[in-house]
Amino acid sequence: MSERIHMVQLAAMVSQRVEGWLNKLLFGFRSWFFDEWYYPIKITDLYRHLEVWRSVVLPNMKYRYDVWDCDDFAEHFASWLKLRTKTNCAGIALGYVETEEGKFGHAWNIVLVRVGHGVELREIEPQLGTVINEGTRRAMGSGIIVTKKRTAVNTKEPRYRLFAAIW
């Protein structure tokens, strides 16, 4: 199996994505890592699974406010990816998405991936099946994510702000 990452190391990797010293401090209280060891998947496998998610799984899902919304997409994607890869490579990110329209509470995913000889994190917008660009923290590709009842956000502009993770 791939190189494993200890829970403390994973928590440290994820917390680096949290902005602001107070939020970094609170990250440890807000987050929960269930396992002692975590196993990454190959970056190429992530992209292969995302293609299946976009083409097969997403077309069968429909956003429903407070019934099947962002946290449900994130939970489903994490479970689906872990079942397909037989690893615990995916977690749920909690925070908000900031747009020109305002700030909205949001959930998305974080995946532990092997890139070359190293291990990195990739953030995923499960409503679109896209990787969130780490350089700009903006979603790649085009589409719409729904952040609250009847509020759709164009994914060319949102900024994801991480506060906690459940893994």
Note the pLDDT tens digit of each residue in 53-73.
999 999 999 988 889 999 999
Where do the domains of the chain lie? 5-166
pLDDT tens digits for 11-56? 999 999 999 999 999 999 999 999 999 999 999 999 999 999 999 9
Query: Phi and psi (nearest 5°) for 48?
Result: -65, -45
Q: What is the pTM of this model?
A: 0.87
SS3 at position 134: coil
Q: How many helices (H) and strands (E) does the chain have?
A: 4, 11
Fold of 5-166: Beta Polymerase; domain 2 (3.30.460)
Asked if 109 and 90 touch (Cβ cutoff 8 Å), the reply is yes
Residues 68-87, mean pLDDT to the nearest whole number: 97
144 φ/ψ sector (left φ>0, alpha ψ -120 to 50, else beta) = beta
